[in-house]
Amino acid sequence: MFVLLSIFMTLPAVLLSGSDAPNSQAFIISAAVVFGMGLCGMLGTYHKERDLKPRYMFVLTVTSWLFISLVSALPFYLSDNDINWATALFESTSGITTTGATALSGLDFMDRDLLLWRSILQWVGGIGIIGMFVAVLPFLRVGGMRLFATESSEWTDKALPRMKTLSRGLLLVYLVFSTVAVLTYWASGMSLFDAFNHGLTSIATGGFSTSDSSMGKFDSDLILVEASIFMALGGMPFFLFVREMHGQRGVLWRDQQVRAFVGILLFVPLVLTCYRWLMTDDFDLLSGYVSTLFNVTSVVTTTGYASEDYSAWGSLAFVVFFYLMFIGGCSGSTSGGMKVFRFQLSLILLREQLMRLLHPRAVLSRKYNGRVVSDEIIASMVAYTFIFFLSLMVITVILAGLELEFPVALTGALAALTNVGPGLGNVIGPSGNFATLPDAAKLVLSAGMLMGRLEILSVVVVLSPAFWRS
- Which residues, including other chains, have CB under 8 Å from residue 215's CB and lie 6 or more apart? 198, 209, 223, 224, 227, 294, 305, 306, 307
Model confidence band, residue 132 (pLDDT cutoffs 50, 70, 90)? confident
DSSP letter (8 states) at residue 335: -
Mean of the per-residue pLDDT values of the chain: 89
Residue 285 has pLDDT above 70, yes or no: yes
Contacts with 379 (C-beta within 8 Å, 6 or more apart), sequence order: none
Q: Identify whether the C-beta of residue 172 lies closer than 8 Å to the C-beta of residue 243.
A: no
- How far apart (Å, rounded) are the C-alpha atoms in residues 328 and 345? 15
Residues 416-448 have pLDDT tens digits of 999 998 889 888 988 889 999 999 999 999 999
Q: pLDDT-based confidence at 227, cuts 50/70/90?
A: very high
In the 8-state DSSP scheme, what is residue 360? T
Question: Where exactly are the structural domains of the chain?
Answer: 54-470
Task: With a cut of 80, say whether residue 136 has pLDDT above it.
Answer: no
Q: Give buried/exposed letters for 437-446 (b at 16+ CB in 10 A, else e).
A: beeebbebbb
Predicted pLDDT of residue 148: 61
Q: How far apart are CA 468 and CA 470, in angstroms?
A: 6
214 CB-near residues (< 8 Å, 6+ apart): 207, 305, 306, 307, 430
Q: List the one residue out of 40, 96, 45 whose CA is nearest residue 66.
A: 96
**Amino acid in position 171:** L
* C-alpha–C-alpha distance, residues 98 and 235, integer Å: 12
What is the pLDDT, as a whole number, of residue 107? 93
Instruction: Provide CB contacts within 8 A for 316, sequence distance 6+.
Output: 272, 275
Mean pLDDT of 96-109: 92
> Which DSSP category does 310 fall into?
G
Residues 6+ apart with CB under 8 A from 287: 221
Nearest to 286 by CA among 195, 367, 221, 362: 221
User: Region 19-29: what's the mean pLDDT?
Assistant: 90
Q: What is the pLDDT of residue 446?
A: 96
Residue 152: the pLDDT is 40
Predicted confidence (pLDDT) at residue 333 exceeds the cutoff of 50 = yes
Confidence of residue 137 (pLDDT cuts 50, 70, 90): confident
The upper half-sphere exposure of residue 236, i.e. CA atoms within 13 Å in the direction of its Cβ, equals: 30
The residue among 129 and 70 whose pLDDT is bigger is 70
| Maximum alpha-carbon separation in the chain | 76
Which range of 10-24, 156-170, 228-242 scores highest in mean pLDDT? It is: 228-242
Report whether pLDDT(363) > 80: no
Please give the Cα distance from 37 to 104 (Å, whole number).
28
C-beta separation of 329 from 302 below 8 A:
yes
Q: How many CB atoms lie within 10 A of CB 8?
A: 16
Distance of CA 452 to the CA centre of its chain: 9
pLDDT in tens, 33-86: 999 999 999 898 887 776 677 788 888 889 999 999 999 999 999 998 989 999
**Do residues 236 and 260 make contact, with C-beta atoms less than 8 angstroms apart?**
no
* Spatial separation of the C-alpha atoms in residues 438 and 103, rounded to whole Å: 10
Instruction: Evaluate if residue 98 carries a pLDDT over 80.
Output: yes
Cβ within 8 Å of residue 138, ≥6 positions away: 145, 146, 150, 152, 153
For residue 396, give Cα distances in angstroms to 203, 211, 247, 328: 30, 29, 47, 20
Q: Is the pLDDT assigned to residue 177 strictly greater than 50?
A: yes
Query: Torsions phi, psi of 372, nearest 5?
Result: -70, 135
User: Is pLDDT of 158 > 60?
Assistant: no
